[in-house]
Structure 1
Amino acid sequence: MARKYFGTDGIRGLTNAGAMTAAMAMKVGMAAGAYFQRGDHRHRVLIGKDTRLSGYMLESALVAGFTSVGMDVIMVGPMPTPAVAMLTQSMRADIGVMISASHNPFADNGIKLFGPDGYKLSDEAEAAIEALIDGDVPLVPANQIGRAKRIDDAQGRYIHFAKSTFPENLRLDGMRIVIDCANGAAYKVAPAALWELGADVVTIGVTPDGTNINDGVGSTAPAALGEAVVAAGAAIGIALDGDADRLIVVDEKGRVVDGDQLMATIAAGWARAGRLKGGGLVATVMSNLGLERHLSAQGLGLVRTKVGDRYVLESMRARGFNVGGEQSGHIILSDYATTGDGLVAALQVLAEVRRAGAPASEVLHRFDPLPQLLKNVRFAGGKPLEADSVKAAIADGEAALAGNGRLVIRPSGTEPVIRVMAEGDEAALVERVVDSICDAVKAAA
């Protein structure tokens, strides 16, 4: 079923336009509040946000929406998305809300919803809420309007939780770590957690001003972190994104380590300790074929899903896996969290580096990735993937890569773009295949 407002990760867009206005946020609060009011208890919603300027506006609108239908509101201020998921469950809230556009520029914002179990909503729940958004949600009588309050100890609760996932027999004493918080939601909690575990912490991306989130820092711009790690003589660098559900690492040489290598590292450590469930891990179609071959050599499997951490999590839950994620750095460790958690994943990576007693460049380089190329083709309208010429180009590409690579073609879920990805043993062949398909899409668009 096509959804009108919800995308692959909540509602997202340019603020003060389209679906990301204060008026729409209030409607979302009213609709979600009405949907989750079940049972005869006093209903409660927990709201967190990242550091975007528009977060104040959307927070106020959501509070108005939720209280108007009789829900009490708890506001926790700037907090990572996984912290909102954890606190929603911990505080027995009926629904959790994270106001964030993740790794997008500051002018965008979004609304992510969590159920009382801390998991993102199902497609069916989102469809039901969409119907309520476009409908007529009844308001409660004046004496039943909800109350709103802020709590001051949410950061400490999340720091304690994150630290509890780090092995008790390990410490980070003497380990210099550069942490890049993308001027986002984790700018206070992530450095504090590392410091409390004994690390010598160097920070960047911890001075949010409302407009600098993800601006040249964070997991989508790791160059600054690489330079800082080398300059500081640090053992490792950790980059989070704007809402801290994504992790990218930089080794002591300043080289980027992506989510595929990090998942392989965590899976190997957990397999060695006898705690890896499912016999492998879950990743998306975008994860490198080198990861799949590496896991296979260790007797571990790789289950692939379509792009989106929600689909990774659905597969993990259905198949009984406890490690999964995306090449982009969304890593889900279901023993600890109901969604991707950059800080918790980083602590597992740090534990492996600490146990090995070797440089991060050695511990985290698990396999040589195959040449992989991804290009985006923007189109004005129509359905270019249904053109016979594009279908023929894709068929030719699949034939050329047969047995020695993979081809993934998919439309973006958030913009009018066709993403063309190929990988294989020969870089030149991969480039020819991608360029041929991109040319066909452009001609058909």
Structure 2
Amino acid sequence: MNTSDVIKNSGIEFGTSGARGLVSDFKYEATVAFALAFLIQLKKEFKISEVAIAIDNRPSSFGIAEYCASAITHLGLNPIFYGVIPTPALAYKAMADNMPAIMVTGSHIPFDRNGLKFYRPDGEITKKDELAIVSANIDFDLSLFTIPELSISNAASNFYLERYISLLSEDFLAGQHIGIYEHSSAGRDLYAKLFRSLGAEVTSFGRSDEFVPIDTEAVSQQDREQALVWSNKYHLDAIFSTDGDGDRPLVSDEKGNWLRGDILGLLCAIELKIEALSVPVSCNTVIELTDKFTQVNRTRIGSPHVIETFHELKKSYNRIAGFEANGGFLLGSDVSYGSSMISALPTRDAVLPAIMLFAAAKDVSISSLVNALPQRYTFSDRIQNFDKNRSLKLLNDIKNNPSDFIQLLGLDAKVVNCNEVDGLRLTLSNSDIIHLRPSGNAPELRCYAESQSSEAAERLVNETLSVLLNL
């Protein structure tokens, strides 16, 4: 077999964050081909002897990890298996130990799909690295591979907890009652321990034995209503949760209203006194309106694009970060906080933005922090099982006739700007924004909207998706 041929025919493709495909696509030969191509390319740059592996709670993830371990041992390397832990925990430990890592996760997409996230010893792979993986031309004979037995090390989960426990005092969250919506999150066994170690009262709920595909950019109506019930029942100051692999946060205010991910990221960046930010084009324009940052770069959607800008920002600024509309926070430089220092973690993390929000809300409510920001509101949702080619055709038609599309929506406004940085982002004469983009991870068409009220933004998304379904 040849890695290039196997990868090309596997049905697995790189999206905005990792290689994704149906579980049925992650056959032994396909998984081995990806792992071999990644590691053999990496060995040209780094001297490596160990490779870290971790998984999420999907039923298929452990088997795929075994396939990865088979490729690792075949190359004479030692797999270090950290079990079910958040992606940022794996990345943090691997970067500290200067070794590559493979995370088996499909993140927030449905459980019939899965994926692989790859980390170099110095952090997330780039788009250039992705191209090198799919283009690698390596022959291999699968009959010569064996699957090793994997034993779990707790070193990465403990190291991740210590990152925050050592940063803050043991009474840092004293007086706060935090609910943990555990569902099937990869970090569900860590979060209550972490917040209790920082002095909070913690109540956990919602643990599921079945995988729950939480999408922090398109929170279901059921999860929105359930948060209100939990908040009222337990008298909570906040609810904390994440997506499947624990790199995208989902945090509510004291009333049980989920915060948008970019608002959470913004409040975290303000609390950390970040100087220069890098955020995707899909994030709320309130970021610039706050006038809190010297520099704000807008990128394509996906953490590799955000990270790519950090190198240039470091030439002029000391306190650098980025975040995405999904809430994942990327710390691009070491940053002082109080008398401590938070080391850089240039990959999406769910814990840091939550902790910084709770810090900012020690003497005020979370809702008051949100309400103090300039009043721009966003909402997003998606059409699932929507063919990518159909999405691309629709976007092209809208780009060529934007006025006709706005008329179909029944809006009394004109299109004043068409931004094609990532998908199609229409700015209207009434300052509303409609952003359409095919998902890079699944057959979905996403719609983001921005308006002067939360109700208007949600209505704009719902009406847009309704029209698109009938085109």
From 90, 95, 103, the equivalent of 1:89 is 95
Shift of 1:189: 1.4
Structure 2 SS opposite 1:12: strand
Tell me which residue corresponds to 1:248. Answer: 250
C-alpha distance in 1 between matches for 2:331 and 2:46: 34
Q: Are 1:398 and 2:415 an aligned pair?
A: yes
Shift of 1:362: 1.6
Over residues 142-164 of structure 1, what are the superposed CA-to-partner deviations in whole Å (9 max), with x where a residue is unaligned? 9xx99965423332222111323
Structure 2 SS opposite 1:310: helix
Structure 2 SS opposite 1:329: coil
From 312, 319, 322, the equivalent of 1:318 is 312
Tell me which residue corresponds to 2:212. Answer: 213
CA contact (8 A) 1:85 1:338 kept: no
After superposing the two structures, state which structure 1 stretch, 123-132 or 377-386, moved more. Answer: 377-386
After superposing the two structures, state which structure 1 stretch, 393-402 or 193-202, moved more. Answer: 393-402
Q: Output the amino acid matched with 2:415.
A: E
Structure 1 SS opposite 2:154: coil
Superposition pairs of residues 113-132 of structure 1, within 5 angstroms: 113-117=118-122, 119-132=123-136
Tell me which residue corresponds to 1:6. Answer: 14
CA contact (8 A) 2:217 2:325 kept: no
C-alpha distance in 2 between matches for 1:386 and 1:256: 30
Over residues 396-425 of structure 1, what are the superposed CA-to-partner deviations in whole Å (9 max), with x where a residue is unaligned? 652381372434333332345444444344
Structure 1 SS opposite 2:239: strand
Instruction: Name the Cα RMSD after superposition.
Output: 3.6
Tell me which residue corresponds to 2:422. Answer: none
Report the CA distance shift for 1:106/1:441 in structure 2 as closer, same or farther (over 3 A).
Answer: closer
Q: Output the amino acid matched with 2:288.
A: E
CA contact (8 A) 2:275 2:294 kept: no
C-alpha distance in 2 between matches for 1:56 and 1:306: 32
C-alpha distance in 2 between matches for 1:437 and 1:154: 42
Structure 2 length-normalised TM:
0.78
Over residues 339-380 of structure 1, what are the superposed CA-to-partner deviations in whole Å (9 max), with x where a residue is unaligned? 1111122111111112xx122222343435435465656457
Tell me which residue corresponds to 2:268. Answer: 266
CA contact (8 A) 2:73 2:79 kept: yes
Shift of 1:432: 7.5
Superposition pairs of residues 180-195 of structure 1, within 5 angstroms: 180-195=181-196
Q: Output the amino acid matched with 1:136.
A: D
Structure 2 SS opposite 1:324: strand
Report the CA distance shift for 1:121/1:49 in structure 2 as closer, same or farther (over 3 A).
Answer: same
Gaps of 5+ in 2: 1-7, 335-343, 407-413, 417-426
C-alpha distance in 2 between matches for 1:312 and 1:109: 23
Structure 1 SS opposite 2:124: coil
From 356, 363, 385, the equivalent of 1:348 is 356
Q: Are 1:30 and 2:32 an aligned pair?
A: no
Shift of 1:204: 2.1
C-alpha distance in 1 between matches for 2:456 and 2:88: 41
| Identical-residue share of aligned pairs (%) | 23
C-alpha distance in 1 between matches for 2:382 and 2:218: 20
CA contact (8 A) 2:170 2:198 kept: no
Report the CA distance shift for 1:65/1:380 in structure 2 as closer, same or farther (over 3 A).
Answer: closer
Q: Are 1:283 and 2:245 an aligned pair?
A: no
C-alpha distance in 1 between matches for 2:198 and 2:295: 33
Superposition pairs of residues 36-435 of structure 1, within 5 angstroms: 36-38=42-44, 41=47, 43-93=49-99, 95-117=100-122, 119-132=123-136, 135-137=138-140, 150-166=152-168, 168=169, 171-205=172-206, 207-209=207-209, 211-214=210-213, 220-221=219-220, 222-223=223-224, 224-271=226-273, 276-278=274-276, 281-293=277-289, 295-296=290-291, 298=292, 301-320=295-314, 322-334=320-332, 335=334, 336-354=344-362, 357-367=363-373, 369-370=375-376, 372=378, 374=380, 376=382, 378-379=386-387, 381=389, 383-385=392-394, 387=396, 390-393=399-402, 397-399=414-416, 401-402=428-429, 404-425=431-452
Shift of 1:127: 1.3
Report the CA distance shift for 1:442/1:136 in structure 2 as closer, same or farther (over 3 A).
Answer: farther
CA contact (8 A) 2:217 2:326 kept: no
C-alpha distance in 2 between matches for 1:380 and 1:283: 24
Shift of 1:101: 0.9
Tell me which residue corresponds to 2:410. Answer: none
Q: Output the amino acid matched with 1:12.
A: R
Tell me which residue corresponds to 2:423. Answer: none
Q: Output the amino acid matched with 1:286.
A: S
Report the CA distance shift for 1:137/1:35 in structure 2 as closer, same or farther (over 3 A).
Answer: farther
Structure 1 SS opposite 2:15: coil
Shift of 1:302: 3.4
Q: Output the amino acid matched with 1:97.
A: I
Structure 2 SS opposite 1:171: coil
Q: Are 1:15 and 2:23 an aligned pair?
A: yes
Shift of 1:86: 0.7
Aligned length: 422
Shift of 1:430: 9.9
Over residues 31-51 of structure 1, what are the superposed CA-to-partner deviations in whole Å (9 max), with x where a residue is unaligned? 222222247955210001111
Shift of 1:54: 0.7
C-alpha distance in 1 between matches for 2:94 and 2:119: 8
Shift of 1:28: 1.7
CA contact (8 A) 1:55 1:99 kept: yes
Gaps of 5+ in 1: none
Report the CA distance shift for 1:198/1:12 in structure 2 as closer, same or farther (over 3 A).
Answer: same
